[in-house]
Structure 1
Amino acid sequence: MMRKPWAALGLVAALLVSPAPNKPGAVAVAAETSITLKVTKEPLSEVARLIAQQAGVPIRVEARADTIIPNLDLHGSLEKILEVVGRFTQLEVRKEGEGYVLAPPAAPEPAAPAPTTPPIAEVVARVKPCVALVVAYITAERARAQGTAFAVGPDGLLATNAHVVQGASAIQVAFAEGQSYYAAVAALDEDRDLAVLRVAARFRQYVELGDSDRLREGDSVALTAYPLALELLRNGIPLYASTAKATVNAIRPATTLVRHEPITYIQIDAPVNPGSSGAPLFRTDTGEVVGVVQAKLATNDVQDSGLGFALPSNLLRPLLRAARDNPVKAPSGAPEGITPDTVPLALSPAAPAAGESVAPSQRPAAQSAVTRPYDLLPPPQAHAIPEPNPAPGVVAMHAPGGKLLADPARPRLYVADFGGNSVAVLDTESGKVLRRVFTGSKPRGLALAADGRSLYVANSGGSEIVILDLETLQPTGTIPLSFRPFDLALGPGDRLYATAAGSVATTLRALDTRKELEVALAGVPLAPGAILAAARAGQAVFAADRGAAPAALFR
């Protein structure tokens, strides 16, 4: 007996079972034709032959032709019978030409690799070297502003807020790695509170601006800034940028500062503090900068509201174009780096270019500046009060609420002009105002130093005490605080005691004026705005709650 050719191969890789020639349309007819299949432990090749013979269409077995099919007794359509056979042999049934094929399931196409998001630590590591501290000396206010800027290209341009540098006679930019430069303002938009600085350097690392219009509520972002950098430096903490994660809480409609044109603000829930102005707000998945940190919501009663705001990065693009078209050159010379040992109270002006000179009147005086308490919302210079005084024996002030303090060694009276952000110095013999000294936001409490050479001023609108030199009548420094001070008194051990402004009861605070350290004292919490008085010898301090029954005595 002649053996069939396919049988001689043993395991058959492919088998074609063909019945008699078909007429056109036979496949469609066969699919609807009912057939009967009765087999008892037959190989798949034989089962396929029997099905093809009844249906009148070719059936090809691509694999597993020798698989034994158990007892089957089926009656139904061709496709139903083939489906059952396919389940037994783990083969797929597919149409092929005028017939069918039993074949292994097609291998699934490899899934496209899921996009990988770099860890946030890697994103921060890319952004941080591009961020710098900005220190600006504001001549008109005799003040020193601090903020943050970030490199936006290789051409020495950095972006920040306009309110950090506007009106500055000298601007210094310092990176944590030690590089320090003088900067010029290449473009400034007071209306949108944005500025672009130029330094004499080429940046190897700079941020990539993203499309702020694609930002949505709930997006994950972060900011890298130098909050309270100068205050930390004065306490021996090296210059270091810090990062805070945040969520986009809202995209809020608002208006610009000057022309009151429509604008949007990005609301975030990250901590924003003095020195954070101008910091980059970037996406945590890509590192693209989508905003410029500008401000936080703060009121007289609540300084830590947890609500911060940033300007959309798309507002920065036209300003960058204007800066690149501006031929202004960066100041020459490199200033000394900012370290705990070289914290400037005032910046020296940049070295003049060849053939230029700087008049002595344009040079900022050394040791005569004060850091703005809240550069995010800088206290304005109050309008001038006309002289002479409105009535005999009356000295006009901007708003009541500040303390009066007589100088025992001089014929002077010091008045904290709460509404004028200043201290008025009066001559007690003539009744005239000798000088009005800008000290910061909403001064209230006053206290004389033990040696009588300095006056301590509590800025209730900020979080600091300003030190005023009574010989020059100029601010010489600040003591940063963790709270908003209300009243001051010099007490035992030459310590400066302070009560808190705001809306939350707190205990009395003691300040070491030499080390500029703050200590919370144990005791009954005092209501906000408690008033202090010191015994003549400075051995006791009295504190009274405003509107409360008892007074507290501290020795």
Structure 2
Amino acid sequence: MKALPQTLSSALMSCLALALALASAPCRADDALAQVIARVKPSIVGVGSWQKTRTPPMHFIGTGFVAGDGLSVLTCAHVIQKLLDANPDEVIGILTGQGEATQFRPAKVQVLDTEHDLALLRLAGAPLPALALGDAATVREGQAMAFTGFPLATLLGLYHVTHRATVSSLTPVVTPSDNAQRLDPRRLAQLKKAPYIVFQLDATAYPGSSGSPLFDPETGLVYGIVNMVYVKGLKEAAISTPSGITYAIPGSHMQTILLKDKCVSCVPASAGR
């Protein structure tokens, strides 16, 4: 049997190497995501309330995640607003653990940014593992992302669920209606403000996912926070929930409220007297 010419043999070897590389790439990506999920889960918490006379006493409403010094929890403002409107006697806080081992930890509402639908809670006591925020300005269309939260937690229990996503568009937070009569007060109020960009994702988020961190599947850096209600209500009023589109608020707005809270915390008690 004649040996293959050297150039043909080299070409075949190159093709084989490329095929092996392509075949192993998904495995490496899956391994990276699996490791990142294990790392971020301790920082992702439920957001809810506690009322001693209620059965069960703990009530879940959305997702949040720990940032900063380990005592700051970021979530969506509409999640907190639901809790504030429900019953003034309820104690707002976070839910940690999983399933029947879920525990409640009280928290204080520190910042409520309704324009960007963000809220910051502060914990007392021992800090929790915190997630680091990446530079949201570097996010591009087509970039791979993932988000972890507690969809339908009242039905499924407090178990972490992760979804893959692609940033399909960088889009304004509100799209003007083609019919002025369809502009409700909420849309009109948003149109009067300077528009800001949100991440549109090709993923489905269910009730309970609001407040989930949107992170890089290889590094775990957080670039946004999943918004289930506020943005979708402005942009997709005609589409029933859930649709195959999810939105996320860029992390730059989260950086702002973390910095604002830090500045307020640094002001001496005697200042302003």
The partner residue of 2:206 within 273, 277, 281 is 273
Report the alpha carbon displacement of residue 204 of structure 1 after superposing the two structures with TM. 4.3
- Does residue 193 (structure 1) correspond to residue 117 (structure 2)? The answer is yes
Contact 1:145 1:165 in 2 (8 A): no
The change in CA–CA distance for 1:173 and 1:259 in structure 2 (over 3 A counts) is: farther
Q: Distance in 2 between matches of 1:126 and 1:182?
A: 24
Report the alpha carbon displacement of residue 251 of structure 1 after superposing the two structures with TM. 0.7
SS at match of 2:228: strand
Q: Distance in 2 between matches of 1:158 and 1:258?
A: 29
1:65-464 to 2 correspondence within 5 Å? 119-136=32-49, 146-166=61-81, 168=84, 169=88, 170-177=91-98, 178-232=102-156, 238-255=157-174, 257=190, 260-295=193-228, 297=232, 299=237, 302-327=240-265
Aligned to 1:439: none
Letter in 1 for 2:134: G
TM-score (normalizing by structure 2)? 0.67
The change in CA–CA distance for 1:259 and 1:194 in structure 2 (over 3 A counts) is: farther
Contact 1:154 1:202 in 2 (8 A): no
Higher relative CO (CA 8 A, sep ≥ 6), structure 1 or 2?
A: 2
The CA deviation string for residues 195-230 of structure 1, in whole angstroms up to 9 with x for no partner, is 110111333411010011101111110000111112
SS at match of 1:262: coil
Report the alpha carbon displacement of residue 302 of structure 1 after superposing the two structures with TM. 3.2
Letter in 2 for 1:135: G
Contact 2:68 2:258 in 1 (8 A): no
Contact 2:107 2:122 in 1 (8 A): yes
Q: Which has the higher strand share?
A: 1
Question: Structure 2 unaligned runs (5+)?
Answer: 1-27, 51-58, 175-188, 267-273
Q: Distance in 2 between matches of 1:164 and 1:257?
A: 19
Letter in 2 for 1:133: G
Contact 2:48 2:93 in 1 (8 A): yes
Aligned to 1:88: none
Q: Distance in 2 between matches of 1:202 and 1:324?
A: 18
The change in CA–CA distance for 1:301 and 1:152 in structure 2 (over 3 A counts) is: closer
Contact 2:60 2:154 in 1 (8 A): no
SS at match of 1:316: helix
Q: Distance in 2 between matches of 1:327 and 1:301?
A: 42
Contact 1:136 1:164 in 2 (8 A): no
The change in CA–CA distance for 1:268 and 1:209 in structure 2 (over 3 A counts) is: same
Contact 2:93 2:108 in 1 (8 A): no
Letter in 2 for 1:276: S
Aligned to 1:517: none
**TM superposition outliers: structure 1 runs of 4+ over 6 Å:** none
Contact 1:151 1:158 in 2 (8 A): yes
How many pairs are equivalent? 203
- Aligned identity (percent) is 35
Q: Distance in 2 between matches of 1:270 and 1:159?
A: 21
C-alpha RMSD of the superposition: 2.7
Greater Rg over alpha carbons, structure: 1
Q: Distance in 1 between matches of 2:209 and 2:49?
A: 14
The change in CA–CA distance for 1:222 and 1:157 in structure 2 (over 3 A counts) is: same
The change in CA–CA distance for 1:199 and 1:273 in structure 2 (over 3 A counts) is: same
